[in-house]
Amino acid sequence: MSNFAELMTIKEASKWASEYLRRNITASNISYLIQYGRVRKIGNNSETRVKKIDLLKYYDSYIGKKEHKWKQKLGNDLNWALSFDQYKEKDTTKHVHRLHPYKGKFIPQLVEYFLDEHTDSFKQKVYFHKNDIILDPFCGSGTTLVQANELGINAIGIDISKFNTQITNTKIGKYDFVELKNEIRNITHRYAEFIHNSNSVLFEKKLLNELAEFNNRYFPTPDFKYEVRNKEIDEWKYGREKEKEFYSIF
């Protein structure tokens, strides 16, 4: 019988979670769960452990629930493959898609699904081929145009927002990399000079040191986040009390 109260190292937890979920769960994934209070950290940094039962509760809390919830709302014929919930944030914001935040954009995987030449039970026909032309009359931050370029498809984008078109053109533009490298070096040098000559730097350093000391004392991560998540602490009430204390110090 498996002992769910047993403690595991991060590496052991990674291996167990990969087997349990039948997909790759890295040590970094487990560290993320600890850092953001999803599971409780046991021990110090050199001997960090987690409880198997905590991992089990966390993974079981969401596996399949999103799909079930949305199918209840929209019907069982909902194609859950189009949720792309298997992708991580680093995948859905790959290369230039991370260039600037944009609230209304969709993920590149959704565009790829409809633009590429694969078919499945839902997409039973190929709609676009290389050298075709796509018109996106509401191109937003340019996701469709970028993915079309990747697939060798020509694309035209239109948007009422000048700022949106600037983001898009920046993403799909052609650049002289030597000139770009020189410009980055110039900006970095000017920024370093500004930081060196700025009187605000010493103040910011002192403030950050005070904040770090205060936060480590009253908001120890990840214990605090774990206790908040499990409603062992009233985050709003506790935070307001400590905020008043910090104001009196600084």
Closest CA to 146 of 218, 184, 97, 92: 97
pLDDT computed for residue 1 by the predictor = 42
pLDDT computed for residue 178 by the predictor = 94
| Buried-exposed string 43-69: b where 16+ CB fall within 10 A, e elsewhere | eeeeebbbbbebbbebbeeeeeeeeee
What pTM, to 2 d.p., does this model score?
0.59
Q: What is the residue-averaged pLDDT of the chain?
A: 86
Average confidence (pLDDT) over 183-197: 90
Write out pLDDT tens, residues 134-157: 999 999 999 999 999 999 999 999
Average confidence (pLDDT) over 83-101: 86
Which strand (E) or helix (H) includes residue 231? none
Average confidence (pLDDT) over 178-199: 89
- Highest mean pLDDT range out of 80-94, 102-116, 200-214? 102-116
pLDDT at 87 over 80: yes
Write out pLDDT tens, residues 70-86: 888 888 888 888 888 87
Under a CB-based contact definition with an 8 Å cutoff, are residues 171 and 146 in contact? Answer: yes
Average confidence (pLDDT) over 108-127: 91
Q: Residue 43 is encoded by which pair of tokens? A: 């021990």
Under a CB-based contact definition with an 8 Å cutoff, are residues 10 and 50 in contact? Answer: yes
| Buried-exposed string 7-36: b where 16+ CB fall within 10 A, e elsewhere | ebebebbbebbeeeeeeebeeeebbebbee
Write out pLDDT tens, residues 16-72: 999 988 888 889 889 989 988 889 888 876 788 999 999 988 888 776 677 777 888
The domains of the chain, with CATH numbers, are 89-172 (3.40.50.150), 192-249 (no CATH)
